[in-house]
């Protein structure tokens, strides 16, 4: 039976799924959270903050593995966190990204040198990123953004979590770097089309200029560096189909879930709420 496993980012898109799947696998789960967390009763919660030195000390006692989400754009403090984890745990699974931004690359290097058995997950675009379109789709049945032909292979958060759980609870994954994708390359415009098909309502993609999109994102308070990075990445995705890997199936034995299946599970987010006559 799996032992006790510490999950950081346990209330996040992937961490919540990791927590649920670990419980299903019979593991004892300790969630590292900054405050009150809406998690299953079987989960033990440990309060703390990865940015606060020493707050991880008690949380890692008695754990054999750590699911690590590092939510910062710098690796400052990560070395100390890994040193603390290595005093108790023997295994770490790190949620990186396929983009492997500079801070993620530095984090991977620190993890490789930590003395822990390590596994790195590099997921491509989360299928859940489509939730950013939910408001416009509910209100107008349209998404107005640039780069409709930007292609990606959206991966279901449950599949990312399933790979993480295998790496946390099984032997044979030490030193592995798993690039995780869904089973199909889809452009952004095609994803919007799939949403419309699933909810039974026409949803259209309306192409806008990158300059307009940049102004809107900045007006919402997004940092300029992040906005420019997103737009550059999307522009680079317009040159052809996105890569598709078999890593999810190779690790879990189950085929990766389709974007359409993710939309079906989350269709309520995109459907307009019917108004009751007054």
Q: DSSP states of 200-211 as a string?
A: TS--EEEE--HH
Q: What is the pLDDT of residue 54?
A: 85
For residue 98, report the phi and psi dihedrals to the nearest 5 degrees. Answer: -65, -25
For residue 177, what is the enclosing H or E element?
strand 176-180
Q: What is the pLDDT of residue 151?
A: 97
What is the pLDDT tens value at each position of the chain, 278 positions in all?
Answer: 678 999 999 999 999 999 999 999 999 999 999 877 789 999 999 999 998 878 899 999 999 999 999 999 899 999 999 999 999 999 999 999 999 999 999 999 999 999 999 999 999 999 999 999 999 999 999 999 999 999 999 999 999 999 999 999 999 999 999 999 999 999 999 999 999 999 999 999 999 999 999 999 999 999 998 899 889 999 999 999 999 999 999 999 999 999 999 999 999 999 987 554 55
Q: What is the pLDDT of residue 138?
A: 97
Beta-carbon contacts of 253 under 8 Å, excluding residues fewer than 6 positions away, are: none
pTM: 0.94
- The Cα–Cα gap between 209 and 226 comes to 17
β-strand pairing of 4-8 with 28-33: parallel
Q: What is the pLDDT of residue 261?
A: 98
**Residue 65 · residue 6 · CB < 8 Å:** yes
Going from the N-terminus, what domains does the chain have, and what CATH number goes with each?
4-123 (3.40.50.720), 143-149+185-242+257-269 (3.90.25.10)
Q: What is the pLDDT of residue 53?
A: 73
Q: What is the pLDDT of residue 275?
A: 56
For residue 32, what is the enclosing H or E element?
strand 28-33
């Amino acid at each position: 039976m799996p032992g006790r496993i510490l999950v950081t980012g346990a209330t996040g898109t992937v961490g919540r799924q990791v927590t649920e799947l670990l419980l299903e696998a019979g593991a004892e789960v300790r969630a590292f959270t900054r405050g009150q967390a809406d998690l299953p009763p079987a989960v033990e919660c440990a309060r703390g903050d990865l940015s606060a030195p020493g707050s991880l000390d008690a949380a890692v006692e008695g754990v054999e593995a750590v699911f690590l989400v590092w939510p910062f754009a710098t690796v400052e403090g990560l070395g100390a966190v890994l040193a603390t984890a290595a005093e108790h745990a023997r295994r770490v699974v790190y949620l990186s990204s396929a983009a492997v931004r500079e801070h993620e690359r530095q984090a991977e290097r620190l993890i490789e040198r930590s003395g822990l058995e390590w596994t790195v997950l590099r997921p491509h675009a989360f299928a859940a990123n489509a939730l950013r379109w939910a408001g416009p789709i509910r209100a107008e049945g349209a998404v107005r953004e640039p780069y409709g032909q930007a292609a990606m292979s959206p991966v279901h958060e449950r599949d990312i979590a399933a790979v993480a759980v295998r790496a946390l609870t099984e032997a044979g994954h030490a030193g592995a770097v798993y690039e995780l994708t869904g089973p199909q390359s889809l452009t952004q415009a095609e994803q919007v089309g799939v949403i419309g098909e699933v909810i039974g309502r026409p949803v259209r993609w309306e192409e806008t200029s990158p300059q307009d999109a940049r102004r809107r994102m900045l007006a919402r308070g997004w940092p300029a560096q992040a906005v420019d990075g997103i737009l550059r990445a999307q522009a680079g995705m317009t040159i052809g189909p996105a890569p598709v890997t078999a890593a999810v199936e190779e690790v879990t034995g189950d085929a990766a879930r389709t974007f359409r299946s993710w939309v079906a599970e989350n269709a309520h987010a995109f459907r307009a709420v019917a108004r009751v006559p007054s």
